[in-house]
Structure 1
Amino acid sequence: MRFAAVTALAIVLALLATPCFAADVGFEEIRIANGTESPLTVGIWYPADAPATEHASGDPASKVVGNGLALIVMSHGGGGAYDSHHDTAIALARAGFVAAAVNHAGDTFDDQSHVLELWRRPIQLHRLIDYMLTEWAGREHLDRARIGAFGFSNGGFTVLVAAGGVPNLSEIAPYCRAHPDHDLCQALQHAGVDPGVSANVPGDAWVSDSRIEAAVVAAPAFGFTFGRAGLKNVRIPIQLWRAADDRHQPDPFYDEAVRANLPQPPEFHVVAGAGHYDFLPPCSARLMRTMPAICASAPGFDRAAFHERFNAEVVRFFQAKLR
């Protein structure tokens, strides 16, 4: 299945062109257990006493600074990778958080074999939290009671499930019958994927994690599959973001469907002039030329300036809610 293959390639090239470390932020890439499947690849950013090395692996290459640090787990969009939001992870680490992001096996740039098996993702996020609290070399620096989650697009869906949401994926097929011109439905049709296959959900599919105390959700995919009943148990503080000109996830079926059905009103941000991919970091000049569909923002929209504001708001939210 090659669903979202163009998006995946673009994100990979963007990440290769952009450093994932900073002078005051440590970084390491590790592998963690994933049940009977191959290990998951994870990137971890943390406050450090020395610059990180580009190829850090295994034990932290520089010492973790601080104690009682809050942990933020991060979930990327479809066809992405753990460093799809590296600028946000760096901003969090600079503010004194530990940010850990997982490659969602089956829905990454190099493996789209389980794209519509969305229930796989929350389990992987759960395993990431388990690892960070019990096995990570820097775990003694963490406060186990201060855990947040960040997710974009498919990652936003993942975080809502981890926060207690229960979607009804059987809603995808009728949605596409009613809106065959929408991006999701066009992509499924182009890939030869029957939307009805997403309804074959295991009975114990949706894994929530009560350790998550607050969440940032940007442009959540499949928002229309939750409804009020599906979100009734999402009781933690939510910061919800919508790109006003999101043509991939058109209003009101995604972000608005989540906002309207959460039992407690979220902190809601609508970004004027932004498109779906403006939640990804700015692209290099080379990538802007080769992948304009992912990199180009609407005329007059400054993605770099937006990310400065976006990252600051994410940091502020977690600082306020994870005390």
Structure 2
Amino acid sequence: MNTFTSKLRSAATAIGTTIALTLAGTCVHAAGFQRGFAADPDGKPLEIGIWYPSEATARPVTMGPTTMSVAVDGPVQGKALPLVVMSHGNGGSFLGHYDTAIALADAGFVVAAVTHTGDNYADQSRSTDVMDRPRHMSRVIDHMLSAWDGRGTIDAARIGMFGFSSGGFTTLVSIGGVPDFSTIGSMCRQYPGDFACQLIAKSGGNVTAPHTSATARAADPRIKAAVVAAPALGFAFSPDGLANVRVPVQLWRAENDLILPHPRYAEAVRLALPDARQMLDYRVVPNAGHYDFLVPCSSALASIAPAICSSAPGFDRTAFHASFNAAVVGFFSKTLGVGSHT
């Protein structure tokens, strides 16, 4: 393992094990929180974190080294609430975007974030089996609608998805995207330093590539809107591959993304999405790096994982997340609406 990959693995481990909460703004509703598992008939149970609006008192809660101000097992407040499911990046966990999840819960959404089996901070044994991930998200939706104790408060007609990096790829497939895996070989021969190419090379040079028909079946028609941040394997999506995307998309790119460099990833997705301007909200974050989409780092995390915590000089990740979370909440509020809190 080379030094760069080793540092990234350490960073991925740290994001799953050492996250300190930073919240900005005043919450109208407390965020209730539960931790659980969703059944996956084709694999191990999927660990999930669930945030939702609650009138219970929020208190600091520690899970290992992670501290959040939430109302654990507080009653769900509201009815007909929209649901947003979240998919993390390579080597992450359900905690990787908890500040965004809390912001959504504060605004009246139920949020379910998964820890992908085989591609998380503790286990990357299937990190290149990227087509496992959309199935995971469908199983999480199944769980939230049929098994979660608060399922009666969810409006099954209003479901959105958020994904970062590998989770961005997962989101694109989940809303109808069909990647062309045959593009990976030539791209990685030309740009072997890209993180995705290094990950593939480390795994033996292969990405599990199902038949196109199976890939198309990975789409989940229940998802009605999507936020995609710094999507991995963006170059694998041609206009034909994204022709079946029929839901609004908010697409984010970090201007100085050195992990998934411009223009091969987010920009490639922007160019390939159907030409319907009202369906695409495209945002480029000046001076931001790839990891700036992750939660702002605590001093403890920064000391352990500087690779994912170091921002460009003058870039304030905490201030960015205040605006990022507001934009994500605003997008889902516009596209899905917000349920009643009465």
TM over 0.5, yes or no? yes
Match runs of 1:2-13 below 5 Å: 4-13=8-17
The question of whether the paired residues in 2 share the 8 Å contact of 1:25 and 1:46 is answered with yes
Gaps of 5+ in 2: 64-71, 338-342
Q: What residue is the counterpart of 1:146 in the other structure? A: 158
What letter is aligned with 1:226?
A: F
What letter is aligned with 1:62?
A: G
Q: What residue is the counterpart of 2:239 in the other structure? A: 228
Aligned length: 315
1:49 CA drift (Å): 1.8
Q: What residue is the counterpart of 2:117 in the other structure? A: 105
Q: What SS does the aligned partner of 2:33 have?
A: strand
1: CA distance, partners of 2:195 / 2:90: 13
Match runs of 1:177-192 below 5 Å: 177-189=189-201, 191=202
1:205 CA drift (Å): 4.1
For residues 205 and 106 of structure 1, do their structure 2 counterparts lie closer, same or farther at Cα, with a shift above 3 Å needed? Answer: farther
- Give the alignment partner of residue 51 of structure 1, picking from 32, 46, 57: 57
| Higher relative contact order, chain-length normalized (CA < 8 Å, sep 6+) | 2
Match runs of 1:196-211 below 5 Å: 197-198=206-207, 200-201=209-210, 204-206=214-216, 207-211=218-222
Greater displacement, 103-112 / 203-212: 203-212
Match runs of 1:1-323 below 5 Å: 4-15=8-19, 17-18=20-21, 24-51=30-57, 54=61, 61-189=73-201, 191=202, 193-195=203-205, 197-198=206-207, 200-201=209-210, 204-206=214-216, 207-263=218-274, 264-265=276-277, 266-323=280-337
For residues 62 and 55 of structure 1, do their structure 2 counterparts lie closer, same or farther at Cα, with a shift above 3 Å needed? Answer: farther
2: CA distance, partners of 1:284 / 1:219: 22
Q: Percent identity among equivalent residues?
A: 49
1: CA distance, partners of 2:142 / 2:304: 39
The question of whether the paired residues in 2 share the 8 Å contact of 1:273 and 1:301 is answered with yes
Deviation sequence 1:116-150 (CA, Å, 0-9, x none): 11000000000111111111111111111111000
1:186 CA drift (Å): 3.3
2: CA distance, partners of 1:317 / 1:200: 32
Q: What SS does the aligned partner of 2:100 have?
A: helix
List, as ranges, runs of 4+ consecutive aligned residues in structure 1 with deviation greater than 4 Å. Answer: 1-4
Deviation sequence 1:217-253 (CA, Å, 0-9, x none): 0000000011111100011000000000001101110
The question of whether the paired residues in 2 share the 8 Å contact of 1:27 and 1:52 is answered with no
1:199 CA drift (Å): 5.0
1:286 CA drift (Å): 2.2
2: CA distance, partners of 1:200 / 1:122: 13
1:292 CA drift (Å): 1.5
Gaps of 5+ in 1: none
Deviation sequence 1:180-222 (CA, Å, 0-9, x none): 2323223444x3x233x21542562451111111000000000
Q: What SS does the aligned partner of 1:230 have?
A: coil
Q: What SS does the aligned partner of 2:103 have?
A: helix
